[in-house]
Structure 1
Amino acid sequence: MREKASTSSSLVIPPSIYLGPCSAASDKSFLAAKMITHVLSIGASPKENVDGVEYHRVSLADSPSSSISNVCDSACTIIDAALKSKDATGRILVHCSAGISRSPTVVVARPGEILRLRPQVSQNSGFLGQLKELEMELFGSVSLDVDELPKRETDRLALFEAEDVADTRT
């Protein structure tokens, strides 16, 4: 059974940036309900465009050897323009095929924060390594100290359980 865009997409940076699968980019009721004004496709293209929504696409293969630096620069430019549109009320859906590797990679704040907000995220090891390098360069630390994300969502969430317990003790 196909998952509905409304349940398979996540608001990751309130109130304006959503992550989801390719199916969400063509879901007229989802886009209208969330007041999405722009869609950024990372690699995968939606089956059809919805009138009144502005569509953009950047190419990125979901491969550990793919470089994210140029794609992230282009994606950030598109995302920033979308958020500034409509008198700064623009909203954007960033998607790839399943919304778990390429799209979260380009919406990076810190990998750990994105994973907490959207536990479906499972970037490939090459993307994760590049994100950790970028995060160290920008913030002086990494939010997720693993070289590869576990394949099962419950195992990815378990990465934070020990950290959350430690935080309550301090």
Structure 2
Amino acid sequence: MKNREEPGSFEVSVQQLNDLLTDDRGLFTRPSTDCHPVHPGIYVGNESVALNVLRLKRLGITHILNAAEGNSLMHVNTNAEFYAGTGFIYHGIPASDFDHFDLSVYFEEAADFIGKALAYNNGKGKVYVHCREGYSRSPTLVIAFLMLRQNMDVHTAVATVRQNREIGPNDGFLLQLCGLNQRLSAEQESWEQ
């Protein structure tokens, strides 16, 4: 596994990440099912699973991170009240799926929530991270978690999620992940000096 300690690992472009996300013909693929495990204890999926409490319970989910909280057509209208009495621990992020939306302001918050979810019940917690389609916002937050808490570089984190689910974060989100990669690499270099 490549990590941030390798020289030059922060020099990753949006195009290189898009190359990881597309097939041999350069085309993006939509998710084959509505939810996938993408890393131990972490599931990424769409709105239909988020609204299906029985399915979430069957998957063993303990925590839900809604990366699209809100009332518009591009959001998923759930909140802590929606899950009241279910036993799920809920957190919502009101992100929009636009290139110009700054999702990076939520990277640490999401990483903290995912980390707490995985540590829950002596490490037996499972978190369902979703948006409307489970294609752009939610995988971006999981990739940021892998970078911030699992010491993966952006290339490795994107590849990890992509090998388990078809994803396609918008170019703005990919650029923000490249920025995070650059910042983390610079911090790593300064710690080593």
Is 1:60 the equivalent of 2:61?
Answer: no
TM-score by length of 2: 0.62
Q: Which runs of 5+ in 2 are unaligned?
A: 1-32, 69-75, 147-156, 187-193
Deviation of residue 40 (structure 1)? 0.5
Letter of the 1:127 partner, please give it: F
Superposed displacement of residue 98, structure 1: 0.6
| Match among 52, 60, 77 for residue 45 of structure 1 | 77
Given that residues 41 and 95 in structure 1 are in contact (C-alpha distance below 8 angstroms), is that contact kept between their aligned partners in structure 2?
A: yes
Q: Are 1:19 and 2:44 an aligned pair?
A: yes
* Aligned AA (2:126): R
Check if 1:111 corresponds to 2:152.
no
Compare relative contact order (CA 8 Å, sep 6+) and give the higher one, 1 or 2: 2
* Alignment root-mean-square deviation, CA: 2.0
The sequence identity of aligned pairs, in percent, is: 32
Aligned to 1:75: 110
Aligned partners of 1:10 and 1:115: how far apart in 2? 10
Which structure 1 residue ranges, 5 or more long, are not aligned? 1-6, 141-170
User: Using a 3 Å threshold, how does the CA distance of structure 1 residues 114 and 139 change in structure 2: closer, same or farther?
Assistant: farther
> For residues 139 and 100 of structure 1, what CA distance do their matches in structure 2 show?
26
Q: Which residue of 2 aligns with 1:8?
A: 34
Partner Cα separation in structure 2 for residue 87 and residue 55 of structure 1: 19
Pick the aligned partner of 2:133 from 84, 98, 104: 98
Instruction: Give SS of 2:65's match.
Output: strand
Could you say which residue in structure 2 is the equivalent of 1:34? 59
1:109-148 equivalences under 5 Å are 109=146, 110-119=157-166, 121-138=167-184
Does the CA-based 8 Å contact 2:39-2:160 persist in structure 1? no
Deviation at 1:127, TM superposition (A): 0.5
**Letter in structure 2 aligned against 1:113:** T
How many residues are treated as equivalent by the alignment?
132
Segment drifting more, 42-51 vs 24-33:
42-51
